[in-house]
Amino acid sequence: MKAIKVKELNSYLKKIVSMDFLLSNIAVEGEISNFKAHENGNLYFSLKDDFSRINAIIFYKNAINLDFKMEDGLKIIAKGSVNYYEKDSQITLYISEIISHSSGNLYAEFVRLKKKLSKEGLFDPGHKLKIPTFPKTIGIITSASGAAVKDIVNMLKMRNNLANIIIFPSLVQGDDAPSDLIEGIKYFNDREDIDLIILGRGGGSFEDLFCFNDENLAKAIYNSNIPIISAVGHEVDYSISDFVADMRAATPTKAAELAIISKKELSENLKSNYELLNSSLNKIIFDMREKLSNYGNLLRIFCPLKDILVNKDNLKDRFNRLNISLKSSVFNNQKILEYGVKSIKSYDFKIEERKVYLEDKKLTLVSGLSQKINIETNKLNYYYKLLNYNMFQLLRSNSISLKNFKYYLKTYKVSDEILKKNLYLHALESRLKVMDFKTDFRYKKDYLYNKKYILNNLTLNIIKNERNKLNTLIYNLNTLYNDINKVKVYLKDGSLLKDIRQINEGDFLNIHLKNGVAKAQIKDIEGKNYAKRL
C-alpha cells in the first residue's frame, strides 16, 4: 500500500466534507463558549454540549442582523455549513443564521412535549394512514395571505389539475394559531369528500413556528380520519406536527409534490407499464407457442394410440404364433407319448425274449453241469477201482506196512475235489432261483407310466397358463383402447349427461376428453319432440 502525504490526506478530507449535502445546510444546537467579537465585526466562539465541541464563526454581514447579545452560556440553534481547513486540519461551522436563542425555555418545552407524546404512542408508525395515490379533493390548512398557499396551489395545478382544492384559512403564528389549525382539521374530517389534508406554513424563526408544537394540535392530527401531510418551515425545521402527521414534507412546495402525482409522471408510468406489460405478454405468448409446438411434436412422437395399434398388431401376431407353438407342442408331446407306448410294448416283447433266452441258458447250464458231474463221477469210480487194485497189490506184496497204508490214505484226499464240485453246483442253482424277472418287469412298466402321467399334466398346465396370460393381455388392451376413445359430457351442475332430455337450448356443457376439457353451449337440438326435461 502506497503512503500519501499529509497535504493529500487533508485535501481528500476537505473534498469529502464539501461534497456532503447534509453538511452544506445543517442546524446545530449547543451552548456558546469562548466567545470573542473581533474588531472587523466577525464573531468567533465554540458550540459545546456535554460530550463535545466545535469551532464556529459568524461573519460581519450575518452578525449585523442579530437582534440579541451574544455571550458565553447562551443556548442557541445555529444554521449554517461545515468547512474543513486544510492547513490546521480543523473543522469549523460557518453560521449564516441563528434560528433560536434563549436560555432554553422554548426548546426545553419542545423536547419535553416530544418525549411525552412519544411515550403516549402518537409517533407510532403503525398508526399512520397511507397517503392516497390519486386524491380527488385536497384540503389545505394554512394562511390565506401567505406565500405557502400560493406555492401549494401552483404546484398542485402544475402537476395535475384534476384534483379539487379547498383552502381553510387559518392563523399560522401566535397563541391563537393552534385553535385555528385544530378547527381546520375538524372541518375537513366532517366533510365526506376530502381525501387528503396539507397542514403547514412557510419558513420563520423557532418562535414563529412554535404554534405547531401544541399538544392539542398533535392529538387532533393523531385522531384525524383523513391522512395529513405536515409541511412546516424549511428543511431544517422540525415541529411536533411533523412527527405526528402521516407524512412530513420539507417545504409546502414539497408537500404538493408528495400529495399528487403529475400527469407527466403518470403518463410515463402508464407508458412504461404498458410497454412492460406488452413485452411480458408477447414473451408469454411466444413461450406458450413454443411450448405448444414442443408438446405437439412430443404428442406426434409419443402418441400412445400409435403404440397401442402397433402393440395390438404385435399381440395378434404373438397370439397366432403362440397357438401354432402350442399345437406343435401338443402334437410333439403326443408323438413322444406314442413313441413311449411303442417303446414299452417293444420292451415287453424283449423281456419275454430275454426270459426265454435265460430259460434256455438255464437248461443248457443244468444239462452241462449234469454231464460234467457224471464225467467226474466216472473218474472217481475209476480212481476208486484203481486204488482198490493198488491196495490189493501192495498188501500182497507186503511192500508197505499197515501203518504206512493208513498214512497214505490220509494224505490222498480224493473226496476234496468231489466236495468242491458239489458246492459250485449248489451255488449256481441258488442264483437262478433268486433272479425274479417278473418283479423287474413290473417295476420298469410302473416307472414309464408315471413319467407319462407327469408329462401330460405338465403340458396341460403350460397350455392353461399361456391362455390365461393371453386373455389378460387382450382384456387390458381393450380397456385401454376404450379409455382413450371415451368422451364424457357433464352438465353445469356436475352430473353426467346420459339422456337428451337432460338438456335444453342455451345450456352449458363440459366435454371431458383424454387430454383436456372443452366447454360448449347448446344452440340447437335436432328434433323438437323430445320429452320434457327431467
- Rounded CA gap, 314 and 133, in Å? 71
The tens digit of pLDDT for each residue in 225-243 reads 999 999 998 877 789 999 9
| 277 is a domain residue | yes
pLDDT digits (tens, 9 = 90+) for 100-153: 665 445 667 888 899 999 999 999 999 999 999 889 999 999 998 888 899 999
Give the H or E element holding residue 36. strand 26-37
Query: Residue range 257-282: average pLDDT?
Result: 87
What CATH number did the domain enclosing 247 receive?
Answer: 3.40.50.261
Please tell me the predicted confidence (pLDDT) of residue 361: 72
**Could you give the CA distance from residue 322 to residue 34 in angstroms, rounded to a whole number?**
119
- Residue 337 to residue 470: CA distance in whole angstroms: 27
Do 73 and 148 lie in one domain? The reply is no
Range with top average pLDDT, 383-392, 475-484, 488-497: 488-497
Report yes or no on 512 lying in a domain. yes
Question: Tell me, what's the pLDDT at 74?
Answer: 80
**pLDDT at residue 42, as a whole number:** 92
The verdict on residue 428 lying in a domain is no
* CATH number of the domain where residue 26 is located: 2.40.50.140
245 shares its domain with 134: yes
Give the tens place of pLDDT for each residue, 382-398. Answer: 766 766 666 556 555 54
From residue 425, give the alpha-carbon distance in Å to each of 51, 114, 373, 433.
Answer: 146, 147, 9, 13
Q: Read off the pLDDT band of 412 (50, 70, 90).
A: very low
Q: How far is the C-alpha of 384 from the C-alpha of 88, rounded, in Å?
A: 170
pLDDT at residue 264 is higher than 60: yes
Least confident of 83-87, 219-223, 228-232: 83-87
> Between these two residues, 85 and 461, which has the higher pLDDT value?
85
Which pLDDT score is estimated for 431? Answer: 55
DSSP code of 501?
G
Judge contact between 463 and 330, C-beta under 8 A. yes
Same domain, 83 and 193: no
pLDDT confidence band for 308 (50 / 70 / 90)? confident
367 occurs within a structural domain: no
Flag whether pLDDT at 184 surpasses 90. Answer: yes
Pairing of strands 90-102, 228-232: unpaired
Helix/strand/coil for 75: strand
* The pLDDT value given to residue 165: 93
User: Which domain-ending residue is among 305, 328, 362?
Assistant: 305
Dist. CA 301–CA 295, nearest whole Å:
10
Judged against a pLDDT cut of 90, whether residue 194 lies above it is answered with: yes
Looking at the fold, whether 129 and 11 belong to one and the same domain comes out as no
What local confidence, expressed as pLDDT, does residue 45 receive?
92
Residue 419 lies in a domain: no
Note whether residue 157 is domain-resident.
yes
75 and 161 assigned to the same domain:
no
Same domain, 282 and 247: no
In tens, the pLDDT along 11-52 reads 888 888 888 888 888 889 888 888 889 889 899 999 988 788
Indicate if the pLDDT at residue 532 is higher than 90: no
Question: Is 463 within a domain?
Answer: no
**Most confidently modeled of 213-227, 337-351, 432-446?**
213-227
As a whole number of angstroms, the distance between CA 131 and CA 227 comes to 6
Same-domain pairing of 170 and 241:
yes
Which of 104-108, 233-237, 351-355, 409-413 bottoms out in mean pLDDT, i.e. has the lowest?
A: 409-413
**Same domain, residue pair 254 and 272:** no
If asked whether residues 167 and 69 sit together in one domain, one would say: no
Look up the pTM and report it: 0.41
- Tell me the percentage of the chain whose pLDDT exceeds 70: 73
Which grid coordinates are listed for 474?
387382450
Residues 212, 288, single domain; the answer is no
Positive or negative torsion for Cα 151, 157, 160, 165 = positive
The boundaries of the domain holding residue 232 are 121-261
Residues with Cβ within 8 Å of residue 305, at least 6 apart in sequence: 484
Rounded alpha-carbon distances, angstroms, from residue 348 to 9, 342, 345, 436: 128, 10, 5, 15
pLDDT value of position 502: 80
Does the residue 236 lie in any domain? yes
Same domain as 277, residue 147: no
Same domain flag for 130 and 241 = yes
State the alpha helices, DSSP H only, in 238-303: 240-244, 252-259, 263-301
Q: Pick from 254-258, 349-353, 434-438 the range whose average pLDDT is largest.
A: 254-258
Domain count for the chain, please give it: 4
pLDDT of residue 405: 45
* Nearest CA-CA partner of 238 in 246, 250, 223: 250
Instruction: Write down which residue in 230, 261, 292 finishes a domain.
Output: 261
